[in-house]
Structure 1
Amino acid sequence: MNLFHTALCALFSIALFGQYTLAFNPLSKTNVVNYWGQNSVSSTGGSEGDLVTYCQDDTVDFFVVAFVSQIVNGAPVLNLANHCGATFPGSNLLNCPKVGQDIKACQAKGKALVISIGGASGSYSIDDPAAGAAFAEQIWNIFLGGNSATRPFGDAILDGVDLDLESGTNKGYVSFIQTLRAKFATASRPYYITSAPQCPYPDLATQAALNAAWFDLVLVQFYNNYCGVQSYGTNNFNFDTWNTWATDVSINKNVRVLLGVPGGPGGAGSGVIGSSQLITILSSIKSYSNFGGVMMWDVGIAKQSGLAVAAANYLHGQSGTTTTTRTTTATPTTTTSRTTTAPTSTPTGGACSAPAWSATATYNAQAQVSYNGRLYTAQWWSQNNIPTDGAPWTDVGPCSGTGPTPTPTPGGCGSVGAWSSSTAYSGGAKVSYGGFIYTAQWWTQGETPGSASVWTKGAACSGTLRRRRFYANRR
């Protein structure tokens, strides 16, 4: 009788909450998270499939549907790239019943899915608490457990919200989360709130919310920044800093911090790594108390490269589970192209035709310099990093002669480069303009220092800084 009662309760739970609520574990240290919805793989000639195509095996545990990219008159604006174009009559809100069907199919296979607010471009900042609470009501009714005549995904109920805030200060998102949490507390099923800050700590766009609201997962973007995975093995790589935030600052002391990486070539400007390097990094950080797995931008790229499968095989194997279908998810036709991503053009030494290294010059990835009779190649953006100190410089070999002296950047202010309207700057970036140094408070492009509030005016151009940290934008 007890066994029958237990089985009956289990069946009732599946019917009430959905099978996915029994499978996904937010406290796991082996979760694989992928973003879906922006078709980033098109940059490498591919095409992102329907959401349901990525739910057919155990590779990905958690999907982030991207993005609610704007807030217009207090209402969300949904952007799913090429996946959905129809809108509700008299509205700009997308009407995507096929995506709704896919969401339910993925949930039935044990996946959790959340809607992401933000992205690299768009207008979604909320600084007012009242506006944050009102926007939470909109999100609850349109995507979660509420009711609305215009639900983009029909009767599909997403499992929560992700904040991918990459501009603004966003203090209103504290009340946004608190309002949703109050609704979650009386719901008959679990909901989750996640965030995707960039790795420089603190992340200005999400700092207010991260320090004052309850998050379940934090998907830190360790790419397109000096602290990304390309800096693993140096003091710049700062997973330990984020784990300390989780244990000492976060309201939820059990929040999980995930290592965010590009899914493969085309996923980011820097931080693209292969499966062996990813597993090396995961093996070194998995012992952190709040480690929670890996996040990838995005699912199409991660499947094309095979990186998601490699991560899942490693992480899920750590938890004692394996999946026989994983070997079928890689795309054999694209595997051979991965060999072209290695810098095959790097010379093996010879004459010092490269310019002499300069402490005040800035170098992008694959830039070459000569220093003390040897040739060096930069693996990522660098300034004032002495080549003989190691990363980001790779010693190519000896050379003879003296390279040309590098030409200073016109209009610069010592070691701080001149502002450019075509360059994207993230929070903390420094530029020179009109004889002064300016610091970006959040992501910006095309906003002139001195006339836009994103820039804080600093000292006049006299002297130099040790280095300029340039934080490129992720997506």
Structure 2
Amino acid sequence: MSETVNVYAADAIVKEASPPPRNRVKIIVASIVGAIVIIAVALLAYFLTRNKSSASSVTGTGSPATQVNTTSTVGSSGTNSTTTTPVKKGKLLGYYGQNAIANGVDIMLGTNSRNTSTSNYQRPLAYYCQTGFYDTVNLAFLNIFGGGQNTFTITFASFNLTTPYGGHYTYNGDGKESNDDGVVQGYANIGADIKTCQALGVKIVLSLGGDKVSPYTFVAGDGLAYATLFYNMFLDGTSSVRPFGAGVILDGIEMDVEKNDDPAVWNPEMIALLTNLKKLSPKSQVAVVPQCFLGTTGQDQNVGDVIASAASSIDYLIIQYYNNPVCSYPYGFNYEIWTSLYSGPLIIGLAGDWTSAISGGFLDDNSLQTVYDLVKNDSQFTGFSVYDVSSSNPPAFAWSYLDYSNPPISHYSQTLRDVLDGQTIGVSSAALGTGPLRNTSIAMRCGGTWVEANSTCSNAICSDTSSANCGANQNCFQNLSPVC
């Protein structure tokens, strides 16, 4: 009963308030015009937002996700049509600190056979960050640590161009700065460059270990001790000693361990190092760099067990596909196997020049295009790393057997960036490089003449150091015999 009364009352109010017929028409017309204006504004805002979103998806940086580049073309009928081209923007990581362009490797004569000029040497860190090519730069290497001493040494190649950079920084474990003023200033200069890089959006990561001849080691207790020490001296912890200067906080630490002297001790300590770093600094990047070669156990012989046990604390792997002839393209490229060994992001580690890969593995444009086409659609593929930035950017030369006497300036990092951004930079032969390893095909070849072995398949087999085919300063290595 009350509902009926309310309805009648409301109807009476409406009727009582109704305007005369002529005014009512004006109100209706005004309402229609207002509605049209509102709809037009809404449509305009929608399309403006949509166009902005499309432009944003093309110009975004660093993401391995597939993006869309929309372009307008004129069809055969003369009308405009729109096509979409997927652009995959992968990560590019560069190694800095070892001045690889000055290592003296000659592509024809082997190691210690090429004279290098200081005019081509490594530039300051900021120089490379300002190229815009890199998402991350790895400082290489903190190569002396362990043994229960809580000490370490960072070893950068010696070079001195415009500012005092490089040299050795040693921490004696006593909580005090013990390096001379020149070293302290040199590392402070690098620290200033680190801040410049980070302001540009480039992450800076410290690389532990390096080649197997470096004197790093592990004893019981080193894992937790060094995780705490590195957290306080390089990451977001606190310490009275900060090698790169007060207020310089690195973005992460990677472990590039290429030997394992005592797995029963080393493995648990390496696991402890990684897991405790992640606990102490969850936002920091923690990475591992295995060699691409898979031993008799089907994993990296040095850090395979570490990767399996500490996977939840590892943000990504950089798989080194150079100086490993038996698993580098085109002789046994094994990326697909690695996707079953680790479920997270995978970076393919490449050499910056023939001379950077002492035992081979540099990819020219066609080989690089092939490798990219083999992995680009895999969800774990995240990008490339390059060793190193000194050999893959100007003023370095790009050494080649085609123009051996007059090499051009190197732009290899630009090439890597281009292919990751979806540009075609070579002719792909995607069927190559996927064959199984065959023990019967293993031969000994010369590192200095890897180019000719790849290009002509006619390089003489090196059986010993007296072979005249290898040059006076050869660097022989194991390699699958090429199939021409």
Which TM bucket (shorter chain)?
0.5 to 0.7
Q: Give the CA deviation at 1:167.
A: 1.2
Equivalent residue for 1:77?
153
Counterparts of 1:383-394 in structure 2 under 5 Å? 394=457
Q: 1:74 touches 1:134 (CA, 8 Å); kept in 2? A: yes
1:328-343 alignment runs, 5 A limit:
none
- Pick the aligned partner of 1:240 from 336, 342, 356: 336
The residue identity in structure 1 corresponding to 2:368 is L
- Contact 1:24 1:110 survives alignment (8 Å): no
Mapped partners of 1:407, 1:36: distance in 2:
33
Q: 1:132 to 1:86 in 2, by over 3 A?
A: closer
Deviations 1:279-304 (A, max 9, x none): 22112211122111111110111113
Map of 1:359-398 to 2, 5 A cutoff? 362-365=443-446, 379=453, 394=457
Residue segments in structure 2 that go unaligned for 5+ positions in a row: 1-59, 66-87, 105-115, 159-164, 397-409, 424-439, 466-472
Compared CA separation, residues 285 and 92, structure 1 to 2 (3 A): same
CA distance in 1, matches of 2:135, 2:237: 25
Taking a change above 3 Å as real, the CA distance of residues 177 and 29 of structure 1, as seen in their structure-2 partners, is farther
Q: TM-score with structure 2 length normalisation?
A: 0.58
Q: State the Cα distance separating 1:23 from its structure 2 match.
A: 6.8
How large is the RMSD of aligned CA atoms in angstroms?
3.6
Q: Give the whole-Å Cα distance in 1 for the aligned partners of 2:151 and 2:362.
A: 35
Deviation at 1:311, TM superposition (A): 1.0
Is 1:156 paired with 2:232? no
Check conservation: 1:261, 1:295, Cα contact below 8 A. yes
Please say if residues 326 and 479 of structure 2, whose CA atoms lie closer than 8 Å, have aligned partners that are also in contact: no
* 2-structure distance, mates of 1:67, 1:407: 32
Is 1:119 equivalent to 2:210 in the alignment? yes
Following TM superposition, by how much is the alpha carbon of 1:221 offset from its aligned partner in structure 2, in angstroms?
Answer: 0.8
Deviation string, structure 1 residues 438-460 (Cα, Å, up to 9, x no partner) = xxxxxxxxxxxxxxxxxxxxxxx
The answer as to 2:221 corresponding to 1:134 is: no
> How far, CA to CA, are the matches of 1:102 and 1:367 in structure 2?
35
One-letter identity of the residue aligned with 2:288: S
Which residue among 132, 157, 178 is the counterpart of 1:91? Answer: 178
Total equivalences in the alignment: 316
- Any unmatched runs of 5+ in structure 1? 1-21, 248-254, 319-358, 369-376, 381-391, 397-402, 411-421, 430-467, 471-475
Instruction: Name the larger-Rg structure.
Output: 2
Q: Specify which of 139, 143, 163 is matched with residue 234 of structure 2.
A: 143
What is the 5 A alignment of 1:9-408? Answer: 30-43=90-103, 45=116, 46-71=120-145, 73-82=149-158, 83-85=165-167, 91=178, 95=184, 96-120=187-211, 121-128=213-220, 130-154=221-245, 155-168=247-260, 169=263, 170-171=266-267, 172-185=269-282, 190-201=283-294, 202-213=299-310, 214-229=313-328, 231-232=329-330, 234=331, 236-247=332-343, 255-268=344-357, 269-303=359-393, 304=396, 305-317=410-422, 362-365=443-446, 379=453, 394=457
The structure that is helix-richer by fraction is 2
The structure-2 alpha-carbon separation of the partners of 1:175 and 1:393, relative to structure 1 and needing over 3 Å to count, comes to same
Instruction: Answer 1 or 2: higher relative contact order, Cα 8 Å, separation at least 6.
Output: 2
The 3-state SS of whatever aligns with 1:79 is: strand
Deviations 1:217-270 (A, max 9, x none): 2111111123343x32x5x210111112123xxxxxxx2111111101211120
Deviation at 1:393, TM superposition (A): 7.0
Q: Give me the whole-angstrom Cα distance separating, in 2, the residues matched to 1:366 and 1:191.
A: 37
